[in-house]
Structure 1
Amino acid sequence: MVTRVRGGLLIGIAATTIVGLPLGVSALPEGLVAWPTGIRDTFLALDFGGLWTHPQIWTVILTFAFVDLFDTAGTLVGVAGKAGLLDEQGHLPRARGALLADSLATCIGALLGTSTTTTYAESATGVADGGRTGFTSLTVAALFLLALFFGPLVQMVPAAATAPVLVLVGAFMMEPIRQIDFADPAEGIAAFLTILVMPLAFSITEGIAVGIVAYTLLRAIQRRGRVSIPLLILSALFLLRYLI
């Protein structure tokens, strides 16, 4: 990455995996190709009756929806900022399309019986290697589809090879903080808490929640209670989530 080599992260993962073979960190698979595991047991295995026999499931559904929404929003803004795709006001053009794609993937994933599908912050690695257009996304999607048939080879990669990449992703995502006005206590403290809580709580949503609530409180103190209604509503929703 320091020498601007394209695919440097992928080369690093592959090299670490190979070096780990004699050390016992990684192991050679029995084969390179395998047929993907079937989804017969999970496809359309929907239990609508459980919504009424187990009312507490509504809390789980709302929590997942809340986390998915703000994880996606936070990741989109962060990755788009790294790619230089935000406008002068810091807004993401055509964000509706990105959110629609994410929501459709979540719905389809649920019907197939997969874990929650969302936008991943690891996308910053693609941006760091020069990915900027929709063709990058299509290429990655095609490679993911192809990877289904190379499960043994993918499982060969140890966590020790991918963990450093995640650290670099965090470093990439730190670049936009230079645009934060730390001279403004409300903005600076809220941003600091957001950055601090995300890794400690292992959640983008938790960091956003703490940051927005802190920002609302500090702004209310600065302006003697005069805070925008949308900001108050958003803070109330975050607080309500913790109470539920």
Structure 2
Amino acid sequence: MDKIFKLTENGTSVKTEVIAGLTTFMTMAYIIALNPNILANYGFTDGGMNLWNAVFLATCIASGIAMMCMAFIANKPFCLAPGMGLNSFFAVVVGNVAAITGMTYVASFQSALIIILVEGIVFVILTLCNIREKIVDAIPLGVRLGIAPAIGMMLLNIGLGSNVYIADSEQNQFFVMKDFFGSLTATHASEMMTDAYPVMVLSVITMFIGLFIIVVLAKQGVKANVIIGMLVASIIYWIGDAVFLGGSPFASLATASWVPAFSDLVDLTLFKLNFSGFLQIGWFTAITLIITFCMIDMFDTIGTLVGTASRAGMVDDKGKMPGMKQALLADSIGTVTGSLTGTSTVTTFVESASGVEAGGRTGLTAFTCGVMFLLCIFIAPLAAIIPAAATSSALIYVGVLMLSGLEKVDWGDLDVVVPVTLMLIAMPISGSIGHAIGIAMIAYTVIKVCSAQAREVSALTYVIAGLFLIKFFLVV
């Protein structure tokens, strides 16, 4: 192991890396069920559960393969899976293609997978030609230093806001932190006292107990603090659900299917690229969609890699990460694999930061997480019982730690402060790392030009800022 992953050289051990991989897996395991929910339109399409099963298997397989590539090609602790936001956009595209062409949802799904395939191939070419690395370098250092804390803000928003939501008997959705504290005020109390309220209280208690356990263990130097905190939080939630809410936390295991539906994968998505259907989309629309997917994925990936690597101390004094090309190549291969197996863009997950905080420094972390994703083909029901409130504890903790990167930002330089501040706000609000970086790039360029410092901005930076302007204001 030491020879393959250079553990000693990176100041880590097998135990630390495995714990880091398990930690990352627990924080991102939600994607295993959520991705097929989104892409199969929650089962209410003509493909029904068959498409759900196919996308579920594609999610596990494509993610596992992508992480193996990250482990052995790049030797980095970054974990990959179908990206949130991109999968929702893909589902919308599939629905629109079905409506415009009259094809079934499954046929439209198979047609849209070609967009993801082209995107992945483009990224492989750009990476091998070192163009993606040059794009990373085109992001001003000051903005790059602000990416990690901006990701921290997004993790805090996910952990405290959107990661845990519940529904009452009338199917009203409530986001735990916002609606729980909102219910404490007189104006919202009557609205929130529904059958969902006890679950909300249990989720909030679980979230904070898990967070405090993680923090206390961290202060005592326990490297497995994150995973221990999540496990304790999970146990607390299960006990609370059973004792106080009358629930059965493990009831789903009794009726769960443990036999993978490989036949659905083979019949519906595995190498099932509908080229005739793709031609019906229209060349202009297809090219626009490919460019849109490329831009979002490119800067989401770059932002995650740069931000997480900065937190892990993997960057030099110029903010560059050694092995960036290999990491980007692994990400590109993941996208190609996803398109061939049946899922939307596979990208580097921001939850990788949790594994980095647990001590992950090499590809063994990604390998461990990848193995868990592949095992979920057979043990998915076990991953599904991890309560969202427990993963929120880890996301909040990691988000707080990543905010420490703000100390590296030169707060006396308005050319940097304004773009970074906008990025800090835009990232959690938009939920997109790429969009937030785009806003920062536009702001940086405009400020420099209007300050008669246009020559300090590189040509590629102008191009990137211009592309984002076009995307934000001209591309629907």
Calculate the TM-score normalised by the size of structure 1: 0.92
Which residue in the other structure is 1:236 paired with?
Answer: 466
Alignment-mate amino acid for residue 35 of structure 1: V
State the 1:206 CA deviation. 1.2
1:65 aligns with 2:294: yes
- Aligned residue in 2 for 1:105: 334
In the aligned structure 2, how far is the partner of 1:90 from the partner of 1:232? 20
Number of residue pairs matched by the alignment: 244
Structure-2 residue corresponding to 1:27: 249
Task: State the match for 1:191 in structure 2.
Answer: 420
Within-5 A mapping of 1:22-101: 22-24=239-241, 27-28=249-250, 29-31=252-254, 34-38=258-262, 39-40=265-266, 41-55=268-282, 56-101=285-330
Deviation at residue 224 of structure 1 after TM alignment: 5.0
More helix by proportion, 1 or 2?
Answer: 2
Alpha-carbon offset, residue 52 of structure 1: 2.5
Larger radius of gyration, structure 1 or 2?
2
**Residue aligned with 2:422, SS:** helix
> SS in structure 1 opposite 2:319?
coil
Mark the CA change 1:48 to 1:155 in structure 2 (over 3 Å): closer, same or farther: same
Task: Provide, for residues 169-213 of structure 1, a one-character-per-residue CA deviation record: whole Å limited to 9, x for no partner.
Answer: 322322222111111101011011111100000110111011110
Which residue does 2:232 correspond to in 1? Answer: 15
Q: Any gaps of 5 or more consecutive residues in structure 1?
A: none
Q: Which amino acid aligns with 1:221?
A: C
What CA distance in whole angstroms lies between the structure 2 residues aligned with 1:26 and 1:63?
44
| 8 Å Cα contact 2:253/2:382 also seen in 1 | no
Preserved CA contact (<8 Å) 1:26 1:156: no
Percent of residue pairs identical: 37
TM normalised by structure 2 equals 0.49
CA deviations on 1:138-194 (whole Å, 9 max, x unpaired) are 222222222332211111112222223222232232222211111110101101111
Distance in 1 separating the partners of 2:435 and 2:236: 37
Equivalent position SS for 1:174: helix
Counterpart contact for 2:270–2:342, Cα < 8 Å:
yes
Structure number with greater CO (CA < 8 Å, separation at least 6) is 2
Secondary structure of 1:97 counterpart: helix
Determine the structure 2 residue equivalent to 1:120. Answer: 349
The separation in 2 between residues aligned to 1:30 and 1:99, in whole angstroms, is 38
| Cα gap change, 1:214 to 1:37, in 2 (>3 Å) | farther
The alignment's C-alpha RMSD in Å is 1.9
Partner Cα separation in structure 1 for residue 311 and residue 343 of structure 2: 29
Label 1:220 to 1:161 Cα distance change in 2 as closer, same or farther (>3 A): same
- The answer to whether the Cα contact below 8 Å between 1:80 and 1:92 also exists between their aligned partners in 2 is yes
Contact 1:193 1:210 (8 Å CA) reproduced = yes
Greater mean alpha carbon deviation, residues 2-11 or residues 229-238: 2-11
Matching residue within 169, 173, 188 for 2:398 = 169
SS in 2 for 1:216: helix
- The 1-side partners of 2:287 and 2:277 are apart by 10
Give the drift of 1:136. Answer: 2.1
Which is further off, 12-21 or 232-241? 12-21
In 2, distance between residues paired with 1:35 and 1:161?
27
Structure 2, unmatched stretches of 5+, are 1-213, 242-246
AA matched with 2:458: S
Structure 2 distance, partners of 1:33, 1:93, is: 43
